[in-house]
Amino acid sequence: MVQQNDEVLFEQVGDVLIARLNRTEQLNALSAGISSGLHELVRRLNSGETGARAAIITGEGRAFCAGGDVTGFPTSNQPHVRVRAAYARPHPERSIARAMHACDVPIIAAVNGFAVGAGFGLALAADLRIAADDAVFQVAQIKRGLVADYSTGPLLQEAVGNQRALELMLTGRRVNAEEALALGLVLKVVPRDRLMDEALALANSIASGPPLGMAASKHVLYMAGDHNLEQADTFISLSVSSLFKTEDAAEGVKSFMERREPEFKGR
């Protein structure tokens, strides 16, 4: 196994490149290292240096990705808390969802355990999804007084439609693997110990197809949606910057740390 960094491990299995998120103690919560590794995955696929014709993203340990690492979130809305600038246009190279959509090679998410918050967005950014029977999906950001980021909103809307997407985004309730299948969020649900076998079988089936035709198919499918995704990313960036400064956001993180339900005040 060749590793790009300690937080994303790469493995080549025939024509399939596998990326394993590897912050197991943090349930693979996002970090600079994971973000860098995901962009490196796309770079390797687009460059053709590996010869891979399909890719799989999965998580080591008990989770696919537990979203943002809340230990780095502010627990106070006081002025001294450092937040992002009020306006910072999201550059395309920083959006892993758009990078994955623009990638010429099909990407499969093999979702094990928690795929919550931004981890849900990462799963949705993949072209195809297979879930283990212990998978759990959740728009957790609303429970922290924030808005769903990592392109979760528009990708969820594309997957399940406006009404169901809003219901999941506004309630922040958890969706188990079987409901995810019924909603069309995943292609299939398989036993946890069969997840990678099933993902590899699908990846190998795809890898036997024509690379140029597959690349064109992806670009045609995402052509209109990715324009909306860029607009949504800009608005989300502004919203998150503003919401991080609110008392509700501080309460959302504090209540999570204290393992209690948040008491939001709307300020």
The ranges assigned to domains in the chain are 2-193+206-257
| Calpha distance 133→230 (Å, rounded) | 33
- Amino acid 135: pLDDT: 98
- Amino acid 241: pLDDT: 65
- Domain 2-193+206-257 in CATH 3.90.226.10? The answer is yes
For strand 8-13 and strand 54-59, is the pairing parallel, antiparallel, or unpaired?
A: unpaired
- Amino acid 225: pLDDT: 66
- Residue 108: what residue type? I
Residue 251: CB partners within 8 Å, gap ≥ 6?
145, 262, 263, 264, 265
Alpha carbons within 13 angstroms on the beta-carbon side of residue 187 total 14
**Do 152 and 139 meet the contact criterion of CB atoms below 8 Å apart?**
yes
| Calpha distance 230→90 (Å, rounded) | 8
Q: Which residues in the chain land under pLDDT 50?
A: 1-3, 78-87, 90-93
Residue 155: CB partners within 8 Å, gap ≥ 6?
97, 121, 124, 125, 229
- Amino acid 246: pLDDT: 80
